[in-house]
Structure formats: C-alpha cells, structure tokens
C-alpha cells in the first residue's frame, strides 16, 4: 500500500484503539492485530506524532512496580476519527471515478 495512505490509516487505527478506553502500547497492538499488523517500531513514532499533534495525551501509571504509559484520546483525536470517516467517503467516490474510467474503456 502507498506509504502515505498507510500512515494516515494507521494513525486513525491507533486513535480508534483508544477511543473507548485509555490503553497502553502492548494492548493497542493486541487490539489492532485482528485488523492490521503493526510492529512496535511502527507504533512508537505514531504515538509520538499523535501526542505532539495533541490528538492523544499520555500519562504514566504505576503497574507492578514499574511505570506503564497510558494513552488517552483528546477531542482533536476524536475529530480526526470523524474527519477520517468523511475523508473515506471522498476516497470511495474517487475510487468509483477511477474504476468507472477503466470500465468505460476510454
């Protein structure tokens, strides 16, 4: 898949994984795995990017004697998800446009 598109998709997937409840890195990977494979080294920059863009916030919670970082979606993050749903409609209509041209054979 085109890198730019995939990048945008994964951003939204990560936001979707924390949409209902705050979550931490490994849990996010597990929650996403039925739908899309994502490695730690892919997730890490996404989380950082989303955090610096204020689409999510991070906080640490003590867990079994160590700190675990939790991620919490912001309103901007939620907006990104709903924007994506709108974007998707656009993409679908562009897709229809592209394949229509092909079928018409012009």
Partner 1 sequence: MNKREFLEAIRKGISSLPEEDMNRSIRFYSEMIDDRIEEGIPESEAVAAMGTPESVINDILAEAAPEGTVKQEAQKKSKGFKYGWIITSAIAVVLIISLAAIFMPLIKAGFDKNAIPSSWGYFSIDDDTSAISPFDSIRISEPFSDVIIQRSETEDCYARFTNVEGIHRFYDIGNDGVLYITCVDDRNWFQKLGSLWYGDSSITLYLPYDMYNELYVEAGSSDITVVDNLTFGYAEIKTGSGDIDFRSDISGTPAKLKSGSGDINVSNVEKGGFYIETSSGDVNIAKVYTCEYKEISGTADDLIGLSEYFGIGKEISVKTSSGDIRIDGARAVDILLETTSGEIELADVYNYVNIQAETVSGEIEAQNVLSCIGISFKTTSGDIEFEGIDSYSQMNLATTSGDIDGYINSKRYFSVRTSSGSVNVPANDGSGKLYHCSVTTVSGDINIRTPK
Compare residues 13 and 47 and give the one whose CB is closer to partner 1. Answer: 47
Q: Would you give the DSSP letter of residue 35? A: T
Instruction: Tell me how far, at minimum, the Cβ of 105 lies from partner 1, in Å.
Output: 27
Q: What CA–CA distances, in Å, run from 17 to 11, 64, 66, 102?
A: 10, 23, 23, 37
Q: Is 62 near partner 1 (CB under 8 A)? A: yes
Could you count the other beta carbons within 10 Å of the beta carbon of residue 49? Answer: 14
Q: Is 52 near partner 1 (CB under 8 A)? A: yes
Among 1, 3, 34, 86, binds partner 1 (CB under 8 A): 86
């Amino acid at each position: 898949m085109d890198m730019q598109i995939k990048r945008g998709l994964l951003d939204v997937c990560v936001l979707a994984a924390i949409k209902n409840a705050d979550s931490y890195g490994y849990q996010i990977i597990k929650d996403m795995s039925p739908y899309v494979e994502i490695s730690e080294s892919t997730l890490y920059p996404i989380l950082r990017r989303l955090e610096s863009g204020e689409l999510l916030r991070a906080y640490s919670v003590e867990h079994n004697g160590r700190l675990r970082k939790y991620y919490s979606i912001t309103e901007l993050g939620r907006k990104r998800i709903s924007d994506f749903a709108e974007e998707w409609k656009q993409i679908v209509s562009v897709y229809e446009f592209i394949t229509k041209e092909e079928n018409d054979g012009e």
